[in-house]
């Protein structure tokens, strides 16, 4: 944003409606004294710890979701044993297959994320 202001470009909201008379007045803020050595890439220790907590939480959420899928699969497989209608049997088999594919994708994602986290810790 500082670079845009230096280039005399004003940033406004997409819903901004100009209702004031500007008479060529600039609304770009003056330099706020931001040091050139400040870096957006630098993170405090607290930020890094918080980021790791978020990653861990996401992994736990995915693992919990896998447990839910397993429970649903068990219920569907039991239901499948009692079904007589061919259409219902095919629908239930289709749901089980979709759940299996979803489970595989989530497991793969968990594995990739775990490996990525392990690499970033090194």
Could you state, in order of their start, the residue ranges of all structural domains in the chain? 45-121
- Per-residue confidence (pLDDT) for residue 40, from 0 to 100: 46
Q: Is-contact 69 99, C-beta < 8 A?
A: yes
- Per-residue confidence (pLDDT) for residue 58, from 0 to 100: 80
Which of the two residues, 3 and 35, has the higher pLDDT score?
Answer: 3
Verdict on whether the full-model pTM lies above 0.95: no
Which of the two residues, 8 and 56, has the higher pLDDT score?
Answer: 8
To 5 degrees, how large is the angle CA 4–CA 10–CA 42? 40
Of 117, 119, 108, nearest to 51 (Cα)?
Answer: 117
pLDDT band per the 50, 70, 90 thresholds, residue 1 = confident
Helix 86-121 / helix 45-82 crossing angle, nearest 10 deg:
160
- Per-residue confidence (pLDDT) for residue 39, from 0 to 100: 46
pLDDT tens for each residue of 9-60: 777 776 666 665 656 666 656 665 554 444 444 556 666 666 666 666 788 8
- Per-residue confidence (pLDDT) for residue 73, from 0 to 100: 92
Lowest average pLDDT, out of 12-26, 88-102, 106-120, goes to 12-26
């Amino acid at each position: 944003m500082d670079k845009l202001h230096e280039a005399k470009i004003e940033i406004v909201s997409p819903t901004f409606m100009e209702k004031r008379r500007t008479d060529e007045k600039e609304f770009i803020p003056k330099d706020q004294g931001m040091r050139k050595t400040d870096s957006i890439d630098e993170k405090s220790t607290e930020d890094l710890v918080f980021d790791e907590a978020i990653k861990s939480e996401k992994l736990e959420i995915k693992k919990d979701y896998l447990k839910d899928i397993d429970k649903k699969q068990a219920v569907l497989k039991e239901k499948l044993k009692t079904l007589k209608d061919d259409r219902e049997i095919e629908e239930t088999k289709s749901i089980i297959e979709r759940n299996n594919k979803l489970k595989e994708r989530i497991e793969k994602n968990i594995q990739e994320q775990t490996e990525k986290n392990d690499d970033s810790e090194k």
